[in-house]
Amino acid sequence: METKNFKYPDTKAYEFVISELKKRGVDLHELSKIACHLQEQFIPQLTEEECYQELNNVLHKRELLNNVMVGLELDRLAEENQLKEPLLSIVRNDAGVFGVDESLALQIADIYGTIGVTNFGYLDRVKYGIIKKFDEDKGHVNTFIDDLLGAIVAATCAKVAHKYA
Ligand code: MG
């Protein structure tokens, strides 16, 4: 099915992502705080408010919204047992060899160049704060969200770094 000239307003995608993140218990300030923590060693005058503004900027980017929407929905569908096997079990169990969650998130970080990608890799290893919370919460399907949050923070880091470059 394809409708030529179909367009969706980015504001709908933005509203969807913000509302889903809120439902999942994500406080956007927690994300901008991580970005601030990672960047203040390079930019001493950096403020949390500034990082929060840059977080909001990256959250308006269409390519980021597209990938975040897909990932969040796959978590939700798996949580509600709406996916078919074997994908259902793969996503529900966060199978280590799957890798689509990391790829989808890495693509977001990649939009922001080397600083985005290296910070994404770093966050994937250290899993700060709220990212760690999702990584360790085994009661829900969090296969995509932890990587997506890491990518959003990494994108924010890059945006802040580029601003001061
Ligand atoms: Mg994952």
Ligand 1 centroid to Cα of residue 1, in Å, is 30
Looking at the domain assignment, is residue 52 inside a domain?
Answer: yes
- Of the two residues 96 and 84, the one the predictor is more confident about is 84
Ligand 1 centroid to Cα of residue 165, in Å, is 31
pTM for the whole structure: 0.95
Domain that holds residue 144: 25-164
Ligand 1 centroid to Cα of residue 160, in Å, is 25
- Of the two residues 71 and 132, the one the predictor is more confident about is 71
Ligand 1 centroid to Cα of residue 155, in Å, is 17
First to last CA, the chain: 45
Looking at the domain assignment, is residue 150 inside a domain?
Answer: yes
Per-residue pLDDT tens digits for 98-113 = 999 999 999 999 999 9
Looking at the domain assignment, is residue 151 inside a domain?
Answer: yes
Q: Report the C-alpha gap between 122 and 129 in whole angstroms.
A: 13
Looking at the domain assignment, is residue 119 inside a domain?
Answer: yes
Q: In this structure, which residues have their CB less than 5 angstroms from ion ligand 1?
A: 101, 143, 147
Ligand 1 centroid to Cα of residue 162, in Å, is 27
Looking at the domain assignment, is residue 14 inside a domain?
Answer: no
Ligand 1 centroid to Cα of residue 105, in Å, is 9
What is the mean predicted confidence (pLDDT) over 142-147? 97
Looking at the domain assignment, is residue 81 inside a domain?
Answer: yes
Could you tell me the CATH number of the domain that includes residue 51? Answer: 1.10.3760.10
pLDDT at 8: 80
Number of neighbours of residue 152 by Cβ within 10 angstroms: 29
Total domains present in the chain = 1
Q: Report the C-alpha gap between 18 and 68 in whole angstroms.
A: 10
